[in-house]
Amino acid sequence: MNHMFVAPPEEECLIQTSESSFRTARVSPMEQFELRYRQVWLYAMRHYPLMPPDPKTDAKLFANFNRAKADEHTVCEMARLAYRLGFRSTEIEELVNRSPDRAIARTALLQARKPGIFRYEPQVFELLVDKIIECFQNAIPDQAKTSPEHLANFSTDLRMRCSLSRM
């Protein structure tokens, strides 16, 4: 993924603290890729049950059984996260553009006005889709999972961390 990473000019690194919240941290340019890559990897680990690999062809399967397909929303959210963190590729951009939000926005625009009577200019249509997606992005999580800012307190005295239990 290193070849897909486009490092931002600033030293601020976006850090995902929960499914819906982020913060920034100042890190060296050398750490930018590592931190951002690990966040995409952690997303994949959190959601791997919803993203099984594509089923193989029937000829390669010993038993023909129904296998779950990857959850489209989860895959698109992972692509959106990767894009937001600075990873660029045609696959990522295709997944971002194929997002369920984009499909819903396109359908809403096309169904809002009777086809044959109304139409949208092609160059304006995608801008309108983007505006509707922006509206979707204003949704606030119902019960935002709060996570502590720091998982470990690095100012803790070493004697407190490295000792026998004091029960």
Q: Dihedral of CA 84/8/93/71: which sign? A: negative
Percent of the chain with pLDDT over 90: 31
- What was the pLDDT predicted at 114? 85
- What was the pLDDT predicted at 19? 85
Kindly state the DSSP code that residue 65 receives in the 8-state scheme.
-
What is the band of 125 on the pLDDT scale with cuts at 50, 70, 90? Answer: very high
Q: Tokens standing for 149? A: 């800012």
- What was the pLDDT predicted at 41? 95
Say whether pTM exceeds 0.75: no
Quote the CA–CA distance of 105 and 155 in Å, as a whole number. 48
Find out whether 79 and 40 touch, Cβ atoms under 8 Å: no
30-34, 54-58, 59-63: the lowest-pLDDT one: 59-63
pLDDT, greater one: 115 or 26? 26
Kindly state the DSSP code that residue 12 receives in the 8-state scheme.
E
Radius of gyration of the chain (CA): 22
- What was the pLDDT predicted at 160? 44
| Torsion angles phi and psi, residue 152, rounded to 5 | -130, 145
Rounded to 5°, the CA angle 132-133-139 comes to: 100
